[in-house]
């Protein structure tokens, strides 16, 4: 699988996604294989909807009620993003294998990954006490999908050199 990923047209995206804490090689390959080219999604909310991590809405007139997530999207993507979201529970830091994966990546990718780590951890801590850890992890997975989309756009715009 590694040999295929190294020669794939999306190899830069696969390498960039691994800069995010909680996304290793297998998760990055799964994201790229299931979502395809992330440029096909015009906005992050479109990608979140494709994954099925947007809330349902029941509206009538001026009344608006948002419910649980739709779960109408790609269940495998939803699953791997949910698993990756568990890493947001831990204090942000870069060490070990994450540090090794980020060593060969350009600064804009590493900066976005660090921003994601800080944002997702703060979001988890804030929401876990208010709505419970399970719902907080779902919300974090939704935001993680936004960071995945942003990295896909960054790589597509050529901000990432061919370092994979």
Q: How do residues 39-61 score in pLDDT, each as one tens digit? A: 999 999 999 999 999 988 888 88
Domain limits for position 55 = 2-156
Q: Is residue 39 part of a domain?
A: yes
Q: Is residue 9 part of a domain?
A: yes
Task: Answer yes or no: are the C-beta atoms of 51 and 74 closer than 8 Å.
Answer: yes
Hey, what's the torsion of the CAs at 46, 22, 18, 28, to 10 degrees?
Answer: -60
Q: Is residue 161 part of a domain?
A: no
Task: Answer yes or no: are the C-beta atoms of 107 and 19 closer than 8 Å.
Answer: no
Q: Is residue 127 part of a domain?
A: yes
DSSP string, 45-99: HHHHHHHT-SEEEEEETTEEEEEEE---S-HHHHHHHHHHHGGGGSPP---HHHH
pLDDT in tens, 65-105: 888 888 888 999 999 999 999 999 999 999 999 999 999 99
Separation CA 156–CA 96 (nearest Å):
28
pLDDT in tens, 10-48: 999 999 999 999 999 999 999 999 999 999 999 999 999
Q: Is residue 23 part of a domain?
A: yes
Task: Answer yes or no: are the C-beta atoms of 152 and 38 closer than 8 Å.
Answer: yes
Domain count, the chain: 1
- Give the residue among 121, 112, 115, 111 at the shortest CA–CA distance from 90: 121
Separation CA 20–CA 60 (nearest Å):
40
Q: Is residue 164 part of a domain?
A: no
pTM above 0.85, yes or no: yes
Q: Is residue 7 part of a domain?
A: yes
Burial track 135-144 (b if 16+ CB lie within 10 A, e otherwise): ebbbbbbbbb
pLDDT at 161 over 50: no
Q: Which secondary structure element, helix H or strand E, spans residue 140, and what is its range?
A: helix 133-156
Q: Is residue 99 part of a domain?
A: yes
Q: Measure Cα distances from 119 to 8, 28, 85, 115 in Å.
A: 31, 20, 12, 6
């Amino acid at each position: 699988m590694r040999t295929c990923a190294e020669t794939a047209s999306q190899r830069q995206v696969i390498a960039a996604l691994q800069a995010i804490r909680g996304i290793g090689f297998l998760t990055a390959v799964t994201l790229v294989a299931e979502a395809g080219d992330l440029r096909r999604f015009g906005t992050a909310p479109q990608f979140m909807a494709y994954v099925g991590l947007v809330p349902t809405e029941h509206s009538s007139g001026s009344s608006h009620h948002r419910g649980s997530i739709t779960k109408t999207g790609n269940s495998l993507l939803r699953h791997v993003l949910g698993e990756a979201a568990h890493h947001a529970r831990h204090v942000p830091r870069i060490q070990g294998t994450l540090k090794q994966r980020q060593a060969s990546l350009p600064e804009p990718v590493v900066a976005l990954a660090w921003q994601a780590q800080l944002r997702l951890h703060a979001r988890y801590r804030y929401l876990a006490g208010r709505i419970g850890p399970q719902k907080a992890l779902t919300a974090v997975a939704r935001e993680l999908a936004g960071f995945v989309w942003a990295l896909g756009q960054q790589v597509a715009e050529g901000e990432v050199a061919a370092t994979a």
